Structure 1
Amino acid sequence: MQSDVDVFIIQKQTTLERYTRSKINIDFFDYLERDNQTPVPLQEAHNEHTKSRDILLKALEKYSLTYKIFNLDELSSNNICYYNDKCKNSGLNPKLKLVISLGGDGTLLHASHHVGGDVALLGINSCPAHSVGHMCPVVPNDIEKAIGCIVKKEYSTKSVRRIKLEVSRKQILPLALNDVLLCNRHPAATSRYQLGIFSSNFTKEFGSEKQLSSGLWVSTAAGSTAAISSYGFQKLDLLSSQILAAVREPYTPRNESLQLKQFSIDGDEKSLLFFSRMRQGLVCVDGPDSCAYLGFGDTVKMSLPKECAINLVLDFFGKVPLFPIDNG
Structure 2
Amino acid sequence: MSIRRVLLLLKPLDVYPTRPTGKISSPLSLVRNPQILGYLDDRCRIHKDTINFCQDVLQRRSLDWKTVVRNNLSEPIRHVDLVITIGGDGTLLQASHFMDDSIPMLGVNSDPTQVEEVKEFSHEFDATRSTGYLCAATAGNFEQVFDEVLEGCKAPSELSRMSISLNGQLLSTCALNDVLVAHPCPAAVSRFSFLIKRDGQRSSSLVSCRSSGLRVSTATGSTAAMLSAGGFLMPILSQDLQYIVREPISPGDADSHLMHGVINSDQTIHVTWCSKEGIVYIDGSHVFHLVEHGDIIELSSKAPILKVFLPSHLLS
TM over 0.5: yes
47-56 or 231-240, larger mean C-alpha shift? 231-240
Select 1:99's aligned residue among 75, 83, 102: 83
Contact kept in structure 1, 2:163 and 2:170, CA below 8 Å: no
Deviation at 1:215, TM superposition (A): 0.5
Task: Name the amino acid aligned to 2:102.
Answer: D
State the alpha-carbon separation in 2 of the partners of residues 30 and 99 from structure 1. Answer: 43
Q: Does 1:303 align with 2:288?
A: no
Q: CA RMSD in A?
A: 2.6
Tell me if structure 1 keeps the 8 A contact 2:210–2:248: yes
What is the TM-score when the length of structure 2 is the normalising length?
A: 0.84
Query: Can you give the 5+ residue segments of structure 1 that lack an aligned partner in the other structure?
Result: 22-26, 81-90, 316-321
SS in 2 for 1:110: helix
Deviations 1:121-162 (A, max 9, x none): 111101112211110020101112222223222220111101
1:263 to 255, 258, 261: 261
Work out whether 1:327 is the aligned partner of 2:312: no
CA distance in 1, matches of 2:285, 2:275: 19
Question: 2:288, 2:27 → 1: CA distance?
Answer: 30
- CA, structure 1 residues 231+58, in 2 after alignment: closer, same or farther (shift >3 Å)? same
Match of residue 237 from structure 2:
239
1:157 counterpart = 2:141: no
Instruction: Report the Cα offset of residue 116 of structure 1.
Output: 1.1
Q: Which residue of 1 aligns with 2:217?
A: 219
Note if contact 1:8-1:94 (Cα within 8 Å) is conserved in structure 2. no
The structure-2 alpha-carbon separation of the partners of 1:157 and 1:189, relative to structure 1 and needing over 3 Å to count, comes to same
In the alignment, is the contact (CA less than 8 A) between 1:109 and 1:177 conserved in 2?
yes
Segments of 4+ moved more than 6 angstroms? 253-256
Aligned length: 292
2:273 and 2:29 map into 1 onto residues whose CA distance is 39
Deviations 1:275-307 (A, max 9, x none): 1112211010111001000011111110102x5
- State how far apart, in whole Å, the 2-side matches of 1:174 and 1:290 are: 8
CA apart distance, 1:31: 7.2
Alignment match of 2:56 (pick from 46, 55, 58) = 58
d(CA) in 2 for partners of 1:29, 1:121: 47
Q: Which amino acid aligns with 1:117?
A: D
Deviation for aligned residue 1:170 = 4.4
SS at match of 1:156: coil
Q: Structure 1 residues 241 and 253 mapped into 2: Cα distance closer, same or farther (>3 Å)?
A: closer
Q: Distance in 1 between matches of 2:26 and 2:225?
A: 28
Contact map agreement 2:226 2:232 (CA 8 A) in 1:
no
CA distance in 2: counterparts of 1:71 and 1:188, whole angstroms? 34
Q: Given residue 162 of structure 2, which amino acid in structure 1 is its aligned partner? A: I
Give the letter aligned to residue 71 of structure 1: V
Q: What's 1:24 paired with? A: none
